[in-house]
Each structure stands twice: as structure tokens, then as C-alpha cells.
Structure 1
Amino acid sequence: MATSNTTSVSLKLLIDTKGGKVLFAEASKDVVDFLFTLLSLPVGTVIRLLSKDAMVGTLGKLYESVENISYTYLQPNLKKDTLLKPKAAVAVAGSNILLLLTNDVDSNAKQFYICAKCNRHISDVSGTVCPSCRYPMSTQVTYVCPQASSTVAATSGEGGYVKGVVTYMIMDNLEVKPMSTISSIAMLNQFNVKEVGALEEKVVYLGMDEGLKLLKASLETSTVLTNVFLGNKMA
């Protein structure tokens, strides 16, 4: 795939060629920020990204139910995209790959209305009678969602979740920890590696396609990096 810095980030895998598996990956802040971003994705967004037919279990059918239900049965002023295309709780700064999965143009954002006379109440249904002055609440206002990452960016100058001065170790099961020479040696001992010659380093790139595969694999297996980057069958 293309390896443009604007569309992907790289990570270095340490592979046990005899066992055919990834022991761990050496990664930058951008990769870790992407992984942590997955925790903030609403369930509806995950289903839409992976496609409802590819989902394990029954959430895909639940998603399809919302798609198919008539607006006759929904609450007034409720848009289906509130459930089908929910906004992530946290906006993420950093590499563009982080934004590819999470940035959606919310053209059907929920609308709110205030009382233009006393400005004391708000409703999501235009024309609702204000309980204070009995004036119809019909003045439309825009809800502005607070962006947690903006505060982080302002204070650290980096944005995202983790600091960029550190190299990180990502295990095959996506466990993340700061990397050091000692931790690398300890990890090799933990995997009982006897033949250093059987180890191989490989630089791979995390773009949109790999990001979606990684998200899907994280819901299905504990050998995520091996499955996504070495093409092994699910464990």
C-alpha cells in the first residue's frame, strides 16, 4: 500500500519466524494514539465501519433494525444518524490515520430550540411551550460538544493521548507499555526465545485498510498483530 506520511504511520514488528507470530511491535505516539482512540468509538460507529454483516454476534441485526424502522415510530426530531453515525466522545489530534476512522460530517445533528423571550429553557422539538413564560420555543441553537483533546493539545502542544518522546511496545494482544532495552530483553525471556537468528524485524504501515482490519481483529482474537500483518488465521 502507499506509505505516505499523510495517510499512514509505521511500526516495526519483531517476528518469531519459527513460530510464525509477532512477539511485539515498536511503535510511535501516533500508533498508540490510534489504538487508544478505538476505546472512544461509539458502538454504532464500530458497526458501520466494519459493516453490519461482518459483525460477530447480533449487534449487526440491531443496527439494521434502526436502519429499517419507520420514522413513524421514532420520537419527534430524532434523526436515525444519532444512533447509526454517532460522534466519538473525544476528538483525536495527531496523524491523519487517526482521523480517517473517526471523522464524519454530521449533516444530521440533533437540533435544539430555546425560548426567545426568557432564554431559560431548551427543547429538541420546535414550538414546545416554555414552562416559564408560555412562549413557543422556536429559536434554533447549535450544541457545541467539548473536545477533550483540544485541552490536551493546548497544554502539551502534542495532542492525542500519550507523549511523543517515548517509543512504545505493543504486544500481539494490543497491550501497550513504554519500551526500553531492559523491557525488550525481559520480553524475549518471557517468550523463551532460544534462537536469536529466528527473529526477524519487519516495518509495516498502518493505514485505513489496516486500521479497519485491526479494529475487527481486536474484537475476535488475542493475536491481533499476527493476524493483521502476517495474515494468519484467527486464533
Structure 2
Amino acid sequence: MLFSMASKQEPKLPLTLLVDKERNCVVVAEASGDFIDILFSFLTLPLGTITRLVSKNQEYHEVEEIGCMNNLYHSLENSADDVFWNHICKKMLLFPRNPCEALCQKLKLNLDDDAKPMKYFMCTNRCRKGGDWFLSTFAEATCYCGKLMNKEMKLHGESNEENNNDGVFVKGQTMYLIFDDLKVLHSSPGNTVHQLLQLGYKNFHRLTKKYLNVGRTEILDLLKQALISNSPLSDVFLDNGGSNGVCTFSPKLRPENQGWINHNPSINLKVTVRKSKKTILYAEAEGDFVDYLFSFLTTPLGSVLNLMDEKFCLGSMNNLQKSVKNLNPLCLRNPSGTPLLNLRVAPQFGLKKQPTKLCEEHTPCYWYGTGVIKNHICYAIGNGVISKDDSLIQHPGAMTHFDPRSSDGTKESALGFVRRPSLFIVWNDLQVTPLVRTSSISFLQKLNVPLDDLEQHELRIEETEALNLLGASLTSKAALTEGLFYLLKPKKQAKA
């Protein structure tokens, strides 16, 4: 009985802290690759997942807001299903897929309880589309024949090889140094001496060791503090009250020649300014703009840091990403390259029509067959089988993917997540409200703002403006103003 209870306990990871008690701060910590893997996995988490995890972990405390992300996420939660092409689109945004989910499932400690391994479905008719078999990776999608695609299919040929304690992103048995600002280095006497001297410590007289076993709650607290603080280790493990937020971003101007260099689509946006406050009060937006905002939630944190080109400070996360770039290649699980440096949105969770260079991973090709081939012998399977390798299955036929981001489930017509045509109000803090059966007179009365204090402007959102908005959404409570106000030009007053 005791063994049964122990087996259900969550894993704990050892962490050694070197603490300066006078200053009440962690000078450096030391841990194995298992702990570093979890730290580096922060970069793979989509912003929607981070928002959900951080909010969920603060159930009994004041929720720490990440710029305007909480407002955007809660607007999504409160939106009716009919705002989207289908119920799957809303669920995709609430629970976005991690592009490294297969790797992250091997972590010693699972951060996201809601993450489920990918599954594969066909309808009971095993329909074809354009000659290809029709496949869905989303449960309860509706096939074009009208039936639910709820027949789960087995994926053949995927490696089930165990990790053998070799680590996920870094080598598990190697020891690492973690500094208070989340800079990570390979642990060696030379690195330790050099770093301690740089920090002003000539000996260990002022330093004491503290041994911890860290669980999921502490890791999620560390994730939250890493987004807003330059001393997350001290904040979490010494309970020093937390440091002042360290999130900075300054909008940059569009290059003069960007208009003919940038081939990404632009988005038109109508904003209403409150002149006396010099703020953007709200925007009237169509589906393209709202899709772009909602796509923030499916974007991995590491992709955001890459896009912002280091002109953007998000707590200690920049240091964490730099550590991946600067880490000794001998410490990496895959010395030829780590996926952490080229993170993209998970397949089918991205947005085609948007102004930035952010891409989603290519959707793998799948094949359907009547059986499997082992040692040149065919073994029939009653319900058939699917595989990413057509040489492993009998009578392979190509498969077409169901894509929720469209009106008919086809990739060719995929636009985004919300229905077209549609119109929304997007507030300065990124709360999103569908304009359905809304009286404009009642709307303006509720604003309780003098009408002569309001002024409308039409903006074109291209790559620079889109990135400015993304940066502002993570660092400010007034994303529209912080990200776009610089674009506004004073209007000439009409003569009386």
C-alpha cells in the first residue's frame, strides 16, 4: 500500500543553490540536465499555454498578468462557439499544440496536464477527398460526408525508443550552472571560478548551500517569474517578495522601402482615439486582425523572441534563449542542432494570412494501408493502418488532412480561426468583443466619452506594425496604444 501511494507522487528534481544570505539572493544554482531540459522547454510553450498554466497555478494568489495576454485568452474563453468556423478552432486556441510535444512528453516532469499525445481519426466510411483518404488529428471533426471523424487509427512506424536518461534537449547526466537571471552554463570548475569572480565573490565565506527537491508547483512559479523578473530563482526559492518587472519594448519604425520588399499580406484596421488622453480607445476589426491576435496564443515563446530580434526584454527569458545559443555543443542531446533555435508554430495551428514571417511546421505526409510490412511479410489489419512511411504498409494511399481553419475542412481554403464575414471591437487592452446585433448608439453611450473627444484613423498593419503589436501585447496593459499610436498623424481641423 505504501508503495502504491509513493508511485503516485509527482517527480521531484534536485537543485542545489548557492545563496548570499546578506543580500538574500541566489548567486548560482547547480542541477542536472533533467532540470535544464524543463527550463529550456519554456521556450517551446505557446503563449496560450503559458497564460493558462500561469493563471491556473495562481489559484490561491493574485494572478500575475502577462501584458494583455490574459485579456486576450479570457476573451477567447468567453466567445461563443459560433464566432469560429467550428468548435475545434476555439479549442485549438485555448489548448494550442506544442511544436516539440513529442520531445516534451519525455521530460522528467510534465508541466502541462492538459497536453495529450496526438491521435489520428477517420470517419467510419473511410472517405476519400480528391482521391486521397481523409484524415484528422482532431477528435470529433465532421467529415465532408456528414459523419464524425471519430474512428481512431493506429500510427505504425513511430519509434517507441526510451530516452535512457540521455536527456531531451541537453544531456541528462551532465551538470549545469543556472544563474539568478536564468543564464545557463556547463558546470565546470573553470566556469564556476570565472563567473563567481565576475559577480564579486573571491571566496565562499559569504555563501551557503541550500538543497532542494523541486516539483511542478515550483517550476510553474519559476515560469511565471521568468516572464517578469531578472531574478526568478531568488523570487521563487528564497521568497524575497519578487523584483520589479523587467519587461521592455519600444516600437520601431517601418523602413521606408518595406512597402515593396515585404510580400506578406497587410491588414486594414480602423482605430478610435481619445484625443484628450492620447490613447487608442478601441479598434473596429474584421476577421483577419482578430485571427492575427488570436494566433499569438498558438505561437511558441521561443519564436516570439526570435521574431523580436533582441529589441524586446521579457524578464529572464531572453537570457534563457541566449543560453541555448551559447551552450557548449557537447552538452546538447543532438549536437547537429537543437529544435529550440528554430521553433515554429505546430502544424495546422498557424495563420497563413498574417503580416509577419512567422511560419508553421509543415504538416507531415501520412499514408493509409490495409496492413503492415515486417521483414518483407505483409500482415493484414482489419481496420487498416496509417504511417508516415509508405514503405512500411501494404497498399499505401496518400491522405488529405482535415483543416479546421476553413469553412469546408480543406487546407486550400484555410483562412484562420474566426468566421468570415465578421466584425469585432478590440479594446486597448486586447479584450475582444464580437459585434453581433450590437446597437452603435448604445455602444457609444456606454463609453461615456464626449463625442468631440473621439477621432477615427485608418491604419495599415504590415510586418513592422504587426511585430510592434506583438511586443506590446506581452509587455503593456495598453497594447493598441503602445504598439500602434506612433502611426497616427494629427488630422486637420475642418474650418467652421
Is TM > 0.5 for Structure 1 vs Structure 2?
Answer: yes
**1:131 corresponds to which residue?**
none
**1:234 corresponds to which residue?**
243
User: Match for 1:190 among 195, 198, 210?
Assistant: 198
Q: 1:175 to 1:143 in 2, by over 3 A?
A: farther
**2:30 corresponds to which residue?**
26
What residue ranges of structure 2 are gaps of 5+ in the alignment? 1-5, 57-62, 245-496
**2:127 corresponds to which residue?**
115
**1:42 corresponds to which residue?**
46
TM-score, length-scaled by structure 2: 0.39
Q: Aligned to 1:62, what secondary structure does the other structure show? A: helix
Once residues 175 and 12 of structure 1 are traced to their aligned partners in structure 2, the CA distance between those partners, rounded to angstroms, is 16
Structure having the larger proportion of residues in strand: 2
What residue ranges of structure 1 are gaps of 5+ in the alignment? 129-135
Once residues 122 and 226 of structure 2 are traced to their aligned partners in structure 1, the CA distance between those partners, rounded to angstroms, is 37
Q: CA RMSD in A?
A: 3.4
Q: Is the 8 A contact 1:45 1:86 kept in 2?
A: yes
Q: 1:87 to 1:198 in 2, by over 3 A?
A: same
**2:230 corresponds to which residue?**
222
Spell out structure 1 runs of 4+ moving beyond 6 A: 109-112
Deviations 1:72-112 (A, max 9, x none): 211035252211122322232142xx21x1242559x8976
The amino acid that maps onto 2:243 is M
The answer to whether the aligner puts 1:212 opposite 2:213 as a matched pair is: no
Larger radius of gyration: 2
Q: Aligned to 2:18, what secondary structure does the other structure show? A: strand
Q: Is the 8 A contact 1:77 1:110 kept in 2?
A: no
Q: 1:142 to 1:21 in 2, by over 3 A?
A: same
Structure 1 residue 62 displacement after superposition = 0.5
Deviations 1:29-82 (A, max 9, x none): 111011011111111111111118432211101001111111121103525221
Structure having the larger proportion of residues in helix: 1
Identity, % of aligned pairs?
Answer: 31
**2:142 corresponds to which residue?**
126
**1:82 corresponds to which residue?**
92
The amino acid that maps onto 1:189 is L
Once residues 10 and 224 of structure 2 are traced to their aligned partners in structure 1, the CA distance between those partners, rounded to angstroms, is 23
The number of residue pairs the alignment matches comes to 219
Q: 1:103 to 1:174 in 2, by over 3 A?
A: same
**1:177 corresponds to which residue?**
185
Structure 1 residue 205 displacement after superposition = 2.2
The amino acid that maps onto 1:39 is L
Q: Is the 8 A contact 1:78 1:110 kept in 2?
A: no
Once residues 171 and 228 of structure 2 are traced to their aligned partners in structure 1, the CA distance between those partners, rounded to angstroms, is 29
The amino acid that maps onto 1:126 is T
TM-score, length-scaled by structure 1: 0.78
Once residues 199 and 207 of structure 2 are traced to their aligned partners in structure 1, the CA distance between those partners, rounded to angstroms, is 12
Q: 1:168 to 1:159 in 2, by over 3 A?
A: closer
**2:71 corresponds to which residue?**
61
**Deviates further, 221-230 or 119-128:** 119-128
Q: 1:21 to 1:157 in 2, by over 3 A?
A: closer
